[in-house]
Chains A and B, each alone.
Chain A
Amino acid sequence: MLQAFQQHRWPLVIVWVLIIAAIVAAPAVLPVFGLKLLGRFLSLSIVALGIDLIWGFTGLLSLGQGIFFALGGYAVAMYLQLNSSSEQPNGIPEFFSLYGVDQLPGFWQPFYSPWFTLIAIWLIPALLAALLGNLVFRNRIKGVYFSILTQAALLVFFNFFNGQQKLINGTNGLKTGVTKLFGEEVGSDLMQRGFFWLTALIVILAWLAVRWVVRGRFGEVLIAIRDDEPRLRFAGYNPTLFKTIVFAMAGGLAGIGGALYTVQSGIVSPQYMTVPYSIDMVIWVAVGGRGTLIGAILGALVINLVKFQFQSLWPEGWLFVLGGLFILVVTVLPEGVIGWLQAGGPRNLLTRLGVPRRIGTYPRLEIDGKEEAKS
């Protein structure tokens, strides 16, 4: 793996320099609206990193990451609402009075604490993912069964959050734009700029953390699970445990992404838990290149930017494009754009178009063999 990295060091370094330059320059260049947009998409790329971890490396296709994404968002929104509702009747968030609730539901209580909230943002989704994952994995339910069970779980959570007005404001969701943090409105330009920096920083930290997980021996076990899980058991490993941990990690990442997304979009609602949105998350990773972390980040960024642009030009057309993208990437480009680049795709394309290939030496062949298998 390390060798593969060195082999393609240059393109990667350039990509990184560009990314960091863009992050540094963005607040100065972009208007606040654009900045918020970029910050939101960066938050989504944290979710994509988690999906890449479980799907790209471990082979678990979760169609329910929206649960964890939304839970992170709800956690931060609940704190912000509580923190800014002291002037409201009963000292609880305003929406409660609409449904005639005058006492704060018990599970809101801990969210008065900023420290609890900071931990809850990632810990609650991670624990829930661990629980759900373990219930499924311990019975050796896998493949598409896992996918459709996660999808059903997503629908269940959607129903719950959507239907419980008195607990969590139901379909309206929780707004964070006019809430206050450090005495400043969350929706203000100053705060939004701060959130952008924070998001960019966390994306890089998340990338480093996931890289650390997949590059080490732990990552080898993950790939072994993807290749042949039953065989791994006979080598003395317990795949259930690894899968549970890695699913929890992805859940935690989704929670962090959801929290950052919420403060930058100004609302969290059950819409974050719809079935289509969670499947869209998978396509970000698929297009970027599963099994490549940069691919996941860039995939989330680029697809969302394109979607945003496209929807302002031709809103009805987007679903055609997205649907086509799903079909295309799966049938034609299974390793995604970055994976294709790393596997020497452009060179192969040139060869196909008649440009002769330079003949490599023997060790070169070896490296190529390694590359092919990564796809």
Chain B
Amino acid sequence: MTTALLEMRQISVSFDGFMALRDLNLSLQPGELRAVIGPNGAGKTTFLDVITGKLRPTAGDVLFKGRSLLNKPEHRIARLGIGRKFQSPRVFENLTVEENLALAVSHPKRPWPLLSAGLSAVERDRIAHLMGIVSLQTRAHQVAGSLSHGQKQWLEIAMLVGQSPDLLLVDEPVAGLTDEETDLTADLLKSLVGDHTVLVIDHDMEFIRRLESQVSVLHQGHVLCEGSMDQIQCDPRVIEVYLGRNEEAA
């Protein structure tokens, strides 16, 4: 067994006594695609907050490439190679699509080099390439605030990819997208696997199924079970807390 890229050990987070995460253990192998599902309030977003350094866990440790991420500020964790896409798209509304991507792609991220540096040819190519992938070339010089919801989602995914992190954390990438866009997003994420490790959080079962990945079910702050989508769906515990209701609805 190779060493895990990301390892969460016994993570607990408590908000004023309420345990958002309880003894959560999870590990990701390099190049893996993993989906995390769970009912509302299962702690999915809290769990991303812990990895990306937004939230300090009450107990436990997070290891990335064997190094602890605790007590590291968000931007350092990002520079180590962890990228995050937020639940509702968060792009820089007053910058153009191109400038948004340039921020993500840019290699110098420190102030002084940025004062004088332009974009290198390689970076320009990468930006053009990314805009091609998410079909935003024609909108390169439009400010991101004027994009539609779906376009913003894609722009943020493109920014995430442009950051070229080793680990991509993707929170509900298909919320508010059309079926066609959902399929394209699934393909895009699958194409990243291998070079990158991807962790996807979503509610959309069809989308998760399309990813053909290992699934972890989160419930009340800890991992209930892991396995393929088919295995998960047969697990009685899962049916009880989550899928049972979901399938009735479907």
Binding site for B on A (CB under 8 A): 3, 212-213, 216-218, 220-221, 223-224, 226-228, 230-239, 241-242, 245, 366, 369-370, 372-374
Contacts and interface: CB of A to CB of B under 8 A. Distances in A.
B163 A236 contact: yes
Interface stretch (B93-101, B196-204, B227-235): B93-101
Contact of B103 (A220, A230, A373, A374): A220
A244 to B, nearest CB: 9
A3 B146 CA distance: 18
B242 interface: no
B74 A223 contact: no
B119 A231 contact: no
Contacts of B96: 370
B6 to A, nearest CB: 16
Interface stretch (B26-34, B78-86, B187-195): B78-86
Interface stretch (B7-15, B106-114, B128-136, B214-222): B106-114
B75 interface: yes
12 contacts: A217-B117, A217-B118, A218-B114, A218-B115, A221-B111, A224-B95, A230-B74, A233-B73, A235-B103, A236-B109, A238-B75, A373-B94
A220 B141 contact: no
A241 B84 CA distance: 21
Contacts of A230: 54, 74
B114 A221 contact: yes
B60 interface: no
Nearest to B143: A373
Contacts of B149: none
Contacts of B116: 216
B93 A370 contact: no
Nearest to A236: B78
A238 B111 CA distance: 9
A242 B109 CA distance: 10
Contact of A216 (B52, B74, B79, B114): B114
A352 B143 CA distance: 25
B198 to A, nearest CB: 16
B175 to A, nearest CB: 17
A369 B109 contact: no
B151 interface: no
Contacts of B104: 235
Contacts of A373: 93-94, 143, 145-146
